[in-house]
Structure 1
């Protein structure tokens, strides 16, 4: 299944933030009104994606919500080890 623009955005940003970019995976779960994007990274890179006090994760979610506004669809980012 092809990734949506939002999934591709999270994939590119996720790869840029980690030390092991080949282990970044993005899965999308499409609901009626919600799109769940699961960002899976290596265990060693989990801290880089979450950031200090969750700041990086919050920034990723903010970017995702801003980008999804034009699609008029609610998006949720789940970070998975």
Structure 2
């Protein structure tokens, strides 16, 4: 479980100007293990990218990792 969390943080921190503000919480739903990513409001555009391309790339990498649990992984980018 922590491997996926560490992977997300390792991908996102170099992209943002305020890496200390990167927060990642996890919770489990019936079908998914969900990770909620919060970044500094000034960095939200850097994480999402033009037309959502960076966010989609991050999700592609995270979803392709073999998770140690039976549920699928979902990454939500939370806009404060």
Instruction: Give the TM-score category using the shorter length.
Output: 0.7 to 0.9
The residue aligned with 1:30 is 28
Does the aligned pair in 1 maintain the 2:33–2:74 contact within 8 Å?
yes
Greater alpha carbon shift after TM alignment, 43-52 vs 22-31: 22-31
SS at match of 1:75: strand
Deviates more, 1:3-12 or 1:46-55: 3-12
Deviation larger for 40-49 or 66-75: 66-75
Equivalence map 1:15-54=2 (5 Å)? 15-54=13-52
Contact kept? 1:68, 1:75, Cα under 8 Å: no
- Structure 1, unpaired ranges of 5+: none
C-alpha RMSD over aligned residues = 1.8
Unmatched segments (≥5 aa) in structure 2: none
Using the TM superposition, give the Cα deviation of residue 13 of structure 1 relative to its aligned residue in structure 2, in angstroms.
1.0
Instruction: Give the length in aligned residue pairs.
Output: 79
Whether the 8 Å CA contact 1:27–1:39 is kept in 2: the answer is yes
Deviates more, 1:43-52 or 1:24-33: 24-33
Q: Is the 8 A contact 2:28 2:34 kept in 1?
A: yes
TM-score using structure 1 length: 0.86
